[in-house]
Structure 1
Amino acid sequence: MSVLGEVLVGLVIVVGLVGTVVQVLPGNVLVLGAILVWAWVTGGGAWWAFAAAAVVVALAELGQWLLAGRHLRRADVPWSTLAWGGVAGVVGFFVLPVVGLPLFFVGAVYVAELVRRQDRERAWRATVAALQATGITIVVQLAGGLLASVAWLVGVWRT
């Protein structure tokens, strides 16, 4: 692959890494997709870098579900509450661009837990637990994306 092609792949990887933090773009899908395109064009040993990146991303995806899920189970927050928060966050993103996503997510999680628990303090604790689980998800996904990026950089260096 040409240097310009590798720079473009690197830019898509950076956009993917930002997407893991912002949670608007499918971050690790972009990272892995960019590495796949690079491996396809480069060929040879580049496939080993892609395989390493794919394993790391798959482990990160699994890890985020396990860690965040365990955190939510400890706090007795059902997935349906997060689903309501997610739907409200998407709506909020379009109602109030950028800031609407977290505001509507938090508001919907709090309201869903308030309806379910009938206790403001417990609903707020569940909302905080949901936010912590979201943070865990972001950190694990970002770690996976960064490790996949390192695999790509090693592959670029070796090919």
Structure 2
Amino acid sequence: MDLSDPRTTADLVAGLVVLLGLVGMVVPVLPGTLLVAVAIAGWAAYVGEPRGWALAGAALVVLAAGAGLKYLLAGRHLRGHGVPSSTLVVGGLLGIVGFFVVPVIGLPLGFVVGVYLSELNRVGSQQAWPATVAALKAVGIALLVELAAGFAAAALWLTGALIT
């Protein structure tokens, strides 16, 4: 591996940004999917080879599918447990507030607290906790789907980096 070669440097930079994006999918401070997509698209533009573009295109399709699928599956899970959209809106708003108030864990913490408080107000304490648990599971489902898409895209990029 010749670090003075610009192509090797491009591969390493893209790989580091992809890795940072994968971390960002778990730690909600970084825009993980966006980082992975930009790194792979930038790498393909730099390489400029048809095989690189084809694998980058496939990786971007996987990321887009994962982004859509995570909302679809999480929403289906929540609807299956009777959690209304209004509760999710309150959870989302408190998640945004939590993101700025408590570093790193504020977004999921605010979301959970928001869902619990909304359900507490809507149905009382007996049913609020099961809805909150369903919301936590939905967040976990979304995280796993996004991470799986990120790893699949990273594998496609790595394949491209090795064959181009």
- 1:125 aligned partner: 130
CA contact (8 A) 2:28 2:107 kept: no
Unaligned runs of 5+ in 2: 1-5
1:25-65 CA distance string (max 9 Å, x none) = 22111101110000011011210111110121122122212
Q: CA RMSD of the aligned region, Å?
A: 1.4
- 1:135 aligned partner: 140
Aligned pair partner of 1:77 in 62, 83, 92: 83
Query: Could you tell me which amino acid in structure 2 is paired with residue 78 of structure 1?
Result: P
**How many percent of aligned residue pairs carry the same amino acid?**
51
Within 5 Å, give how 1:110-121 maps onto structure 2: 110-117=116-123, 119-121=124-126
SS at match of 2:82: coil
- 1:104 aligned partner: 110
Task: Between 76-85 and 27-36, report the one with greater CA deviation.
Answer: 76-85
Within 5 Å, give how 1:88-99 maps onto structure 2: 88-99=94-105
Aligned length: 158
Tell me how far 1:83 sits from its aligned partner.
2.3
CA contact (8 A) 2:27 2:104 kept: no
Take 1:54 and 1:100, find their aligned partners in 2: how far apart are those partners? 29
Unaligned runs of 5+ in 1: none
Tell me how far 1:111 sits from its aligned partner.
0.5
- 1:60 aligned partner: 66
State TM-score, norm by structure 1.
Answer: 0.92
